[in-house]
């Protein structure tokens, strides 16, 4: 048997592959490929060091500075129009709903001593947040020893999101048990004016269909660090996380579903996450395809660099912490918990509606972490109208017996999540401070912080994300990304 | 020259200290650079007593210095280079040890003290180009197929390095990179049920023919991991006087071709595979009278003169991976098992016969099933899951030549394995257990281990590796005297 293969035939095969890929590369019209705008962690940290750096780095490497001008312009809208339209969506402006509780607490600078000496602050903050207003000290990172209260702002989403919400929300329905009929949802915030028996569930669906992260079309770099109960660094990582929205697209077209496949399968978004550090995780890639219906399991693939193989992850493995962090899969990326009547069903109620004093979204990225005590410094606080929502788990075998969410009434982003175990002990908390880009009407993961705490193991994980809007296509996602991006 | 390599080792240490756990992430002009590495030292202590094929007490101190570097030129082009220095400090430490010399382990120093060949120092070196749906990687690389761990069925593109033993089931440092060209194309799909579909082609131009390494018979070649094959009282099989034919570099006789179609269909991963290439282990037959030597401990070693070659292999196979959500139980933590199935049909595989000293060709069917499962057992661990991974494999020789049995293989050969681990103290302490069973030959490997990871820079491991067999020189029985305790320390950067 002849075993010789002529170089010509091999060349022909390669040429065919290249030609096929060139014609089917699927680069989107009008949007530059996101990787052309990506900065690596070292480049980001030239403008914002890991610790003790108050530089407002969003004024230097924010979307306006990094994105091509025409892309940035496409994502920016008239601020007045956005404010007016969003008020029409939710029916109010947040500044009009606050100032009723402890009105004597005015904008200005405060320290933890002011907070401890004035009981009004205890009334204005939920207990876990109140307990963080102190100097940095074990067992957890993320204490806030001083802050500035700023006047309450009106927050809003971009014009396309607001308009799609207004157009679609009246068609969105829940079934008789309070679960979303996913075929009735097209785009926008599904329940901008929650009410009725299933108000709490409506708010949770607003979180599930949220638009933070530039409507979930983004690229992200994040350093994340784990600290033990002595505040010693025990996990030091870097991840890249890229997300593509498949359902409910408003800003980056096409509006609604990305394609026919997304609509047929009820795909809501897809993303992948790559570890760049530490060494043992370097080159690990997780690819996820997420579906809107609560009873449809997501599709997860994992590339393990130590095995050089792609593995199928069990789609039911949602209660374990992700990669050494203090965040379980169901809380990953802010929220991945599905509402299902058959699998770990929740009973959801709004238990309170009132104003709270909360960390404000960051506009310029001047907030920072102190090396001493791992405090969050340069923080701004503002009064916000909030919902307090309790989710009671009906299955005694789930890792959590209860979740408590503090949800902003105007934006439907949650500021804090408290998870209690089945014995009623506070187990894990998640506190998010977002970035806000006023001219874009967009919330993002950076330049804020993502603080996860384990109150039983006394451990913290602190993320410092950097986020940019990104137009991804199917070519950039799925199984192929495991091979392209993995080690 | 050895001094130079130890100086290289010192450089690794400095580099690691300087960069800390994050390694280096920087830019050189427009090129993004991401660097990592580790320094690892592992020691073993033989506990099986005094035997010809083992060193009682301290017996190895294997170290690895690894650096890995990715250079990203733009969004479609990157390069990856890794280098590793491996050695065993037992050789200088035990150089004057009488037992070590009597057993002939010192004669394996040239082979196992320091891996200083360029092919060993340079691990991977490849360029990758990924425009759109296309992927092309050329250079020295690792390509892993198949779904089984511990046992290899479909995974046959790269050879294995087991010269430092078989107890380490972390594959990354045991797979030998090869100079390959790998191309993949992902077909755009708008199907509702087909999430991804890709075609993969791998070509080995035989730039540097590389067979499996390690587990060689004879203390003078295989060191402390040389299998023990007893031929009679006080007599063992020694190293072969080999004359094994290898394909010449760049000779088409050494070309390998591998083709795979892979699909992500709903919740499943499926691949169809075809491989045509050279086996990584030779077939041998005896071609003359033996040579007999007597080791310093009085054991006679029979050295057989052999000839052989690396035969052609041709096979086709399929893998299937899926999880079964309806099998999840909330009482056990709610995680459904994921199944991995692999099956391969080999055409005219070449085997050596045991008694008639011939090469014969037979078809074979080789399959394996593995399960990955996580369960919650609060009584044993309130916070973390237990990972449980059982596997079973079977290798069936079609039309087995009963009159002239095949060396080391029955007509139907079963193996099984079980891996269990969990974690405590927020993933700091990880106990694990591995059991591998050669069902056909009734022999076992047992590995008990605890790992302590205080942070992402340091890792400490201690454990015991035990073997048992029927005393018939089959399966794991050849390692029956290699029971050992071990400890590892790794510093990562």
Looking at the complex, does the CB of residue B457 fall below 8 Å from at least one CB of chain A?
yes
pLDDT (0 to 100) of residue B15? 61
Are residues B438 and B416 in contact, defined by beta-carbon separation less than 8 angstroms? no
- Determine whether the interchain pair A26/B132 forms a contact, defined as Cβ–Cβ distance below 8 Å: yes
pLDDT (0 to 100) of residue A182? 87
Min Cα distance B46 → chain A (Å) is: 28
pLDDT (0 to 100) of residue A27? 44
Angle between the N-to-C axes of helices A79-90 and A159-168, in degrees from 0 to 180, rounded to the nearest 10: 30
Are residues B273 and B313 in contact, defined by beta-carbon separation less than 8 angstroms? no
Please determine, for residue A167, whether its predicted confidence score (pLDDT) is greater than 90. Answer: yes
Calpha distance B224→B237 (Å, rounded): 15
Are residues A247 and A260 in contact, defined by beta-carbon separation less than 8 angstroms? no
**Using CA of residue A161, residue A167, residue A169, residue A175, what is the dihedral sign?**
negative
Calpha distance A243→A336 (Å, rounded): 13
Residue B14's CB is within 10 A of a number of other CB atoms, namely: 9
Nearest to B25 among A233, A276, A483 (CB): A276
Calpha distance A476→A123 (Å, rounded): 48
Are residues B485 and B47 in contact, defined by beta-carbon separation less than 8 angstroms? yes
Calpha distance B153→B271 (Å, rounded): 14
- Determine whether the interchain pair A279/B456 forms a contact, defined as Cβ–Cβ distance below 8 Å: yes
Are residues B146 and B321 in contact, defined by beta-carbon separation less than 8 angstroms? no
Min Cα distance A22 → chain B (Å) is: 7
Place of tokens 């490849």: B126
- In the predicted model, what is the mean pLDDT of residues A262-273? 94
Residues 6 or more apart whose CB falls under 8 angstroms from that of B450 comprise B429, B430, B431, B432, B461, B462, B463
Nearest CA in chain B to A309: B144
What is the ipTM metric for this complex?
Answer: 0.92
Min Cα distance A312 → chain B (Å) is: 7
Calpha distance B2→B115 (Å, rounded): 10
DSSP 8-state assignment for residue A187: B
pLDDT (0 to 100) of residue A1? 34
Calpha distance B202→B196 (Å, rounded): 19
| Percent of chain A's residues with pLDDT above 70 | 94
**Using CA of residue A39, residue A41, residue A45, residue A51, what is the dihedral sign?**
positive
Residue A214: closest CA among A56, A67, A328: A67
- Determine whether the interchain pair B337/A314 forms a contact, defined as Cβ–Cβ distance below 8 Å: yes
Residue B99's CB is within 10 A of a number of other CB atoms, namely: 16
Region for A424 from its dihedrals, namely left if φ exceeds 0, alpha if ψ lies in -120 to 50, beta otherwise: left
Are residues A156 and A83 in contact, defined by beta-carbon separation less than 8 angstroms? yes
Peptide bond into A139 cis (omega under 30): yes
- Determine whether the interchain pair A457/B383 forms a contact, defined as Cβ–Cβ distance below 8 Å: yes
> What is this structure's pTM?
0.92
> Counting Cβ atoms within 10 Å, is residue B320 exposed (0-12), middle (13-18) or buried (19+)?
middle
Q: Which two tokens stand for residue B262?
A: 């892979």
**Using CA of residue A273, residue A275, residue A280, residue A285, what is the dihedral sign?**
positive
CA dihedral B416, B266, B197, B314 (to 10 degrees): 20
Nearest CA in chain B to A6: B252
Q: Which two tokens stand for residue B328?
A: 């999840």
> Could you tell me which residues are beta bridge partners of residue B284?
B308
Lowest-confidence segment of A15-29, A233-247, A448-462, B177-191 by average pLDDT? A15-29
Nearest CA in chain B to A263: B192
Could you list the beta-strand ranges (E) of B89-193.
Answer: 122-129, 134-141, 161-162, 178-186
Calpha distance B456→A252 (Å, rounded): 39
Helix (H) or strand (E) holding B118, with range, is: helix B118-121
Min Cα distance A338 → chain B (Å) is: 14
Residue A248: closest CA among A216, A218, A273, A219: A216
Q: In this predicted model, which residue has the larger pLDDT, A35 or A20?
A: A35
Please determine, for residue A68, whether its predicted confidence score (pLDDT) is greater than 60. Answer: yes
Calpha distance A250→A257 (Å, rounded): 9
Please determine, for residue A17, whether its predicted confidence score (pLDDT) is greater than 60. Answer: no
Residue A225: closest CA among B16, B24, B456, B38: B456
Residue A172: closest CA among A410, A252, A164: A164
Calpha distance A52→A65 (Å, rounded): 23
Are residues B159 and B211 in contact, defined by beta-carbon separation less than 8 angstroms? yes
- In the predicted model, what is the mean pLDDT of residues A313-340? 88
pLDDT (0 to 100) of residue A161? 98
Please determine, for residue A16, whether its predicted confidence score (pLDDT) is greater than 70. Answer: no
Min Cα distance B174 → chain A (Å) is: 10
DSSP 8-state assignment for residue B404: S
A-chain residues near B255 (CB < 8 A): 3, 5
CA dihedral A89, A94, A95, A100 (to 10 degrees): 130
pLDDT tens for A87-98 read 999 999 999 999
Say whether B137 sits in a helix, a strand or coil: strand
Please determine, for residue A391, whether its predicted confidence score (pLDDT) is greater than 70. Answer: yes
Tens place of pLDDT for every residue, chain B, 493 residues?
556 556 666 666 666 555 555 677 888 888 999 999 999 999 999 999 999 999 999 999 999 999 999 999 999 999 999 999 999 999 999 999 999 999 999 999 999 999 999 999 999 999 999 999 999 999 999 999 999 988 889 999 999 999 988 765 455 678 999 999 999 999 988 888 999 999 999 999 999 999 999 889 999 999 999 999 999 999 999 999 999 999 999 999 999 999 999 999 988 999 999 999 999 999 999 999 999 999 999 999 999 999 999 999 999 999 999 999 889 998 999 999 999 999 999 999 999 998 889 999 999 999 999 999 999 999 999 999 999 999 999 999 999 999 999 999 999 999 999 999 999 999 999 999 999 999 999 999 999 999 999 999 999 999 999 999 998 889 999 999 999 999 999 999 9
Chain B, 233-292: which have a CB under 8 Å from a chain A CB? 252-253, 255, 257, 262, 264, 266-269
Nearest CA in chain A to B130: A484
A-chain residues near B374 (CB < 8 A): 314, 317, 320
């Amino acid at each position: 048997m002849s075993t010789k293969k002529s170089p010509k035939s091999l060349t022909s095969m390669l040429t065919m592959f290249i030609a096929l890929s060139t014609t089917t590369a699927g680069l989107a019209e009008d949007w530059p490929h996101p990787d052309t705008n990506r900065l690596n962690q070292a480049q980001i940290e030239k403008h914002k060091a890991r610790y003790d750096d108050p530089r407002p780095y969003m004024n230097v490497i924010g979307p306006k500075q990094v994105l091509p001008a025409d892309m940035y312009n496409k994502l920016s809208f008239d601020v007045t129009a956005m404010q007016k339209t969003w008020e029409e969506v939710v029916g109010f402006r947040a500044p009009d709903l606050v100032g009723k509780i402890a009105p004597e607490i005015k904008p200005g600078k405060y320290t933890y001593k002011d907070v401890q000496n004035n009981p009004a602050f205890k009334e204005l903050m939920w207990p876990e947040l109140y307990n963080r207003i102190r100097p940095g000290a074990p067992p957890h990172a993320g204490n806030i020893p001083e802050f500035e209260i700023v006047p309450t702002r009106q927050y809003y989403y971009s014009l396309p999101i607001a308009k799609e919400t207004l157009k679609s929300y009246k068609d969105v329905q829940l079934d008789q048990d309070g679960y979303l009929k996913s075929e009735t949802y097209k785009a926008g915030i599904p329940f901008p004016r929650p009410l009725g028996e299933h108000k709490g569930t409506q708010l949770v669906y607003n979180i599930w269909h949220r638009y933070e992260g530039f409507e979930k079309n983004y690229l992200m770099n994040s350093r994340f660090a784990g600290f033990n109960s002595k505040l010693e660094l025990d996990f030091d990582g870097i991840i890249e996380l890229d997300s593509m929205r498949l359902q409910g697209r408003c800003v980056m077209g096409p509006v609604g579903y990305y394609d026919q496949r997304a609509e047929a399968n009820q795909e809501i978004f897809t993303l992948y996450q790559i570890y760049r550090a530490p060494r043992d995780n370097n080159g690990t890639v997780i690819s996820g395809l997420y579906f809107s219906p609560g009873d449809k399991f997501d599709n997860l693939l994992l590339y393990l660099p130590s095995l050089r193989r792609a593995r199928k992850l069990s789609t039911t493995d949602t209660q374990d912490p992700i990669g050494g962090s203090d965040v379980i899969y169901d809380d990953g990326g802010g929220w991945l918990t599905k509402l299902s009547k058959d699998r770990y069903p929740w009973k959801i109620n709004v238990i309170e509606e009132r104003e709270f004093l909360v960390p404000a979204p960051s506009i310029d990225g001047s907030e920072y972490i102190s090396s001493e005590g791992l405090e969050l410094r340069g923080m701004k606080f503002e009064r916000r109208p909030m919902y307090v929502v309790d989710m009671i788990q009906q299955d005694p075998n789930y890792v959590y017996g209860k979740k408590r969410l503090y949800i902003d009434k105007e934006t439907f982003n949650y500021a804090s999540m408290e998870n209690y175990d089945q014995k009623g002990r506070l187990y894990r908390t998640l506190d998010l401070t977002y970035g806000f880009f006023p001219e874009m009407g967009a919330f993002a993961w950076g330049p804020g912080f993502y603080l996860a705490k384990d109150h039983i193991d006394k451990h913290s994980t602190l993320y410092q994300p950097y986020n940019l809007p990104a137009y991804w296509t199917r070519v950039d996602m799925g199984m192929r990304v495991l091979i392209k991006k993995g080690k | 020259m050895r001094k130079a390599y130890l100086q290289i080792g010192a450089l690794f240490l400095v580099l690691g200290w300087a960069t800390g756990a994050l390694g280096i992430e920087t830019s050189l002009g427009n090129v993004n650079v991401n660097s990592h590495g580790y320094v690892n030292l592992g020691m073993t202590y033989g506990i099986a007593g005094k035997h010809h094929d083992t060193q009682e007490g301290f017996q190895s101190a294997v170290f690895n210095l690894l650096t890995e570097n990715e250079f990203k030129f733009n969004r479609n082009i990157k390069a990856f280079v890794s280098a590793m220095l491996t050695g065993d400090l037992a050789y200088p430490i035990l150089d004057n040890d009488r037992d070590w010399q009597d057993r002939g382990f010192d004669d394996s120093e040239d082979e196992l003290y320091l891996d200083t060949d360029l092919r060993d120092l340079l691990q991977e070196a490849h360029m990758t180009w990924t425009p759109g749906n296309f992927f092309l990687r050329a250079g020295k690389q690792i390509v892993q197929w198949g779904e089984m761990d511990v046992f290899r069925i479909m995974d046959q593109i790269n050879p294995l390095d087991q010269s430092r033993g078989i107890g380490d089931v972390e594959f990354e440092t045991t797979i030998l990179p090869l100079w390959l060209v790998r191309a993949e194309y992902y077909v755009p799909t708008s199907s509702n049920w087909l999430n991804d579909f890709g075609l993969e082609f791998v070509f080995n131009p035989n730039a540097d023919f590389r067979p499996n390494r390690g587990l060689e018979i004879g203390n003078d070649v295989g060191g402390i991991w040389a299998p023990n094959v007893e031929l009679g009282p006080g007599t063992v099989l020694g190293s072969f006087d080999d004359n094994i034919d290898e394909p010449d570099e760049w000779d088409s006789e050494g070309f390998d071709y591998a083709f795979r179609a892979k699909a992500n269909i709903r919740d499943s991963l499926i691949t169809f595979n075809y491989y045509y290439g050279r086996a990584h282990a030779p077939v041998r037959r005896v071609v003359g009278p033996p040579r007999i030597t007597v080791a310093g401990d009085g054991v006679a070693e029979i050295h057989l003169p052999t000839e052989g070659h690396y035969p052609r292999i041709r096979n086709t196979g399929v893998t299937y991976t899926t999880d079964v959500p309806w099998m999840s139980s909330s009482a056990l933590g709610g995680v459904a098992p994921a199944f991995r199935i692999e099956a391969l049909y080999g055409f005219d595989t070449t085997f050596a016969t045991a008694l008639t000293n011939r090469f014969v060709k037979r078809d074979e069917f080789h399959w394996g099933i593995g399960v990955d499962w996580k369960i919650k057992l609060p009584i044993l661990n309130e916070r973390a899951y237990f990972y449980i991974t059982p596997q079973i494999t079977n290798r069936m020789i079609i039309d087995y030549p009963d009159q002239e049995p095949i060396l080391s293989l029955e007509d139907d050969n079963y193996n099984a394995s079980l891996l269990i681990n969990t974690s405590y103290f927020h993933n700091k302490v990880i106990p694990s257990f591995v059991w591998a069973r050669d069902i056909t030959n009734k022999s076992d490997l047992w590995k008990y281990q605890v790992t302590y990871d205080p942070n992402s820079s340091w890792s400490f491991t201690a454990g015991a590796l035990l073997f048992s067999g029927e005393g018939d020189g089959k399966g794991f029985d050849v390692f029956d005297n290699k029971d050992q305790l071990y400890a590892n320390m790794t510093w990562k950067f």
